[in-house]
Amino acid sequence: MFKILYYLVFILSVALTSAGIVLVSRLRSRHKQDVFSSLLYFQVFIFTFGFYGIWGQVFIKYILSNYISPEVLLRFSNIALLMGLPFLIFALLMLLRFSAGVSGRRFGNRPVILFLAGNFSILILLAYLIENKHFENPAHTILFYFILMSIIWNLLASFLIHFPVKGRDLVHEHDRKIISFIISVTATLYCIPLFFYDDQIWLALIFILLFFTGNAILPVYFNYGTLVPAASCEGEEDPSFTGFCGKFEISPRESQIVHEICNGLSNKEIADKLFISLQTVKDHTHRIYIKTNVRSRVQLINLVKEEAKE
């Protein structure tokens, strides 16, 4: 029974990993923004850790246990897990870079050096203490380290996005709050089973499923959920956007309305930004809907995206 579950969860892990990386790659190639490069590297590193550090432990404990002694198995398991943790460190670094980009902050070389120096120093110290048997249960110590790292740095990333630099944040407030929520909640959720884990197979599988699902949510949201960005339509000077306006005979003023709708602004916010009345915005929007044969903002944004692909 558990073997079937192993296979199913493993297949789901591969599918979620592939989907996450493909979706972010598509975003990066379409929008040419550094923030999506950071998100792509985060996906690569976090899923590499997932297969090497997490699925590797499953392989060691439940397959190699039939062939080697418990003492050698435990030592091999601890070494393999410690060697997988650098992937986690680099993944969290990329998550912070992504969060800084979304919130309009600069993430220069100094924060990178401090982050890597601090975290690798802790990791080396942890490896030294485990090697010299300072911990009664090294596996639990590494587990605690993983939980602490995941929660602290994910919450910091969430904080950065939730409180952006005014006027420089990449996404609209509505999307920013959702992205911040996704980052903080997913990390907390997949860490919960680890607080109760004591070699129970079913808890391990729940953790693995939550880990891979949680880390694939951001790419899915950016592709299909957000009304934002610089990601949706990159500006009125973008050739694809200009082509869209020409194809549907969108006037210059209407093109400004379309652009701001793609950026997630409400009718009131568009009116304030363009210094026109709210009724004028509504009239323009109504004419845009007629010209493009759509009935809602979401349909309009999706149409702009589709035209940009062609």
Alpha helix positions (H), 196-277 = 201-224, 239-247, 252-262, 267-274
The residue-averaged pLDDT of 260-265 equals 84
What pLDDT digit, counting tens, does each position of 87-144 carry?
999 999 999 999 998 887 888 889 999 999 999 999 999 888 887 878 878 878 888 9
Judge contact between 240 and 250, C-beta under 8 A.
no
pLDDT score at 49 = 95
Q: Taking 80 as the threshold, does the pLDDT of residue 284 lie above it?
A: yes
What is the arithmetic mean of pLDDT over 258-274?
Answer: 84
**Distance between CA atoms of residues 122 and 252, nearest Å:** 57
For residues 242 and 20, the model is more confident at 20
20-33 b/e (C-beta count within 10 Å ≥ 16 → b): bbebbbbbbebbeb
Cα–Cα distance measured from residue 106 to residue 98, given in angstroms and rounded to the nearest whole number: 10
Handedness of CA 215, 217, 220, 226 (dihedral sign): negative
- The reported pTM is 0.73
| Model confidence band, residue 24 (pLDDT cutoffs 50, 70, 90) | very high
pLDDT band at 259 (very low <50, low <70, confident <90, very high): confident
d(CA 2, CA 8): 10
In this prediction, residue 159 has a pLDDT band, given cuts at 50, 70 and 90, of very high
Residue 209 to residue 196: CA distance in whole angstroms: 16
Smallest CA-to-CA distance from 54 within 15, 10, 20 is with 10
Contact (Cβ atoms closer than 8 angstroms) between residue 270 and residue 255: no
Which CATH number fits the domain 239-309, given the four candidates 1.10.1300.10, 1.10.520.10, 1.10.10.10, 2.60.40.1180?
A: 1.10.10.10
Beta-carbon contacts of residue 263 (< 8 Å; ≥ 6 apart): 172, 228, 229, 230, 232, 233
Residue with more model confidence, 37 or 263: 37
Contact predicate 214/208, CB 8 Å: no
Q: What percent of the chain has pLDDT over 90?
A: 42
3-state helix, strand, coil split of the chain in percent (to 5) is 80, 0, 20
127 phi-psi bin (left φ>0, alpha ψ -120 to 50, beta other)? alpha
pLDDT, tens digit (0-9, with 9 covering 90-100), for 221-258: 888 776 444 344 444 446 667 778 888 888 878 888 99
